Amino acid sequence: MKDNLPNTLFGLLRTGVTDLRKAVRNPDYRIDMTVYHEFRDDLCYVCMAGAALAFTNNVPRRYNVGNLPDRTLYKLHAIDFMRTGDMVDAYNKLYNTVAQPDQRAVLLNVEDTIKQSMKSDFYYKHSVVPAEVYLGVADVLEANGL
CB contact at 8 A, 85 and 115: yes
pLDDT in tens, 114-132: 988 888 888 878 778 889 9
pTM, full prediction: 0.93
Q: What's the pLDDT score for residue 57?
A: 94
Report pLDDT for 117: 86
| In the predicted structure, residue 1 carries a pLDDT above the cut 80 | no
**pLDDT on residue 129:** 84
Q: By the 8 A CB rule, do 57 and 5 touch?
A: yes
Would you state the pLDDT for residue 96? 93
Domain ranges of the chain: 9-143
Distance separating alpha carbons of residues 71 and 91, to the nearest angstrom: 13
pLDDT at 67: 80
